Homo-oligomer: A and B are copies of this chain.
Amino acid sequence: MKNSISLTRKGNLIVISGPSGSGKGTICRALLREMSDLHLSVSATTRQPRPGEQDGIDYYFLHRKQFEKMIADNQLLEWAEVYGYYYGTPAEPVREAISRGKDVILEIDVQGAAKVKNNYPGCVLIFIIPPSRHELEQRLTGRATDSADEIRRRLAWAEREIKELPKYDYLVINDEVAAAASKVRSIIIAERCRPALLDINDFITRYWLM
């Protein structure tokens, strides 16, 4: 083993977002299988756990009072209230993993991603979309859970979301999951090579001593 300079760097916050039906969840799962060194951000919620869901793994299950204290104490990278339940991203576990040099994956909707960018400007925003509007519609129709009205609503919503694309660092067309996950993996590897993550003076000093 040759002597090699270590890049003592912070991790990146990788935000994977896109319209409902984009396949962002499937891509995240594929990534986590392939890259064992990623840390998945776990959301907090005030809804009840469903059978089989584990606290701290699927969600952090909190009481409303606890959640509202986190909002008040600015301990969430983003939060929203949906159908009477709070959902949000606790900042502390993210910052802790990043300070240990771990890249954190956060899968979130487009509105949430914008809030995260505000609270953590150094994050890397990746936008996932299906290969066409037609394909998006097919994917939403394929979900037996959604009514025709719901699908129309989601398509209209997706149209608005795609206009947010210029705010994103990267766009990945999810034509095929393995290929899209491979592109996201390349993005994660590339972002690890950013000298902005380094303390340059420390790096140069250490380098020149080796």
Residues of A with Cβ closer than 8 Å to B?
2-5, 7, 126-127, 129, 131-135, 159, 162-163, 165-166, 168-173, 175, 183, 185-187, 189-191, 193-196, 198, 200, 203-204, 207-210
Top-7 shortest CB links A-B: A4-B131, A132-B210, A190-B190, A186-B189, A186-B186, A170-B193, A187-B190
Additional A-B contacts beyond A7-B171, A132-B207, A186-B189 (8; CB < 8 A): A2-B131, A3-B132, A4-B131, A4-B175, A129-B207, A170-B193, A171-B193, A172-B193
Please tell me which one of the listed residues B3, B132, B135, B169 contacts residue A131 in the complex, with CB atoms under 8 A apart: B3
Check if B159 sits within 8 Å of A171, measured CB to CB: no
Closest B residue by C-beta to A196:
B166
Check if B169 sits within 8 Å of A194, measured CB to CB: yes
Count of chain copies? 2
Return chain B residues, CB-CB under 8 Å to A195. 127, 165-166, 168-171
Give the docked Cα–Cα distance between A132 and B204 (Å). 10
CB contact under 8 A between A2 and B175, given known A195-B166, A204-B163: yes
A-B CB contact pairs (8 Å), 25 listed: A2-B131, A4-B132, A4-B173, A5-B132, A7-B171, A127-B195, A135-B210, A159-B208, A165-B195, A165-B203, A166-B196, A166-B200, A169-B194, A169-B195, A170-B190, A170-B193, A170-B194, A170-B195, A171-B193, A171-B195, A172-B193, A186-B187, A186-B189, A187-B190, A187-B193
Return chain B residues, CB-CB under 8 Å to A7. 171, 173
Check if A207 sits within 8 Å of B4, measured CB to CB: no
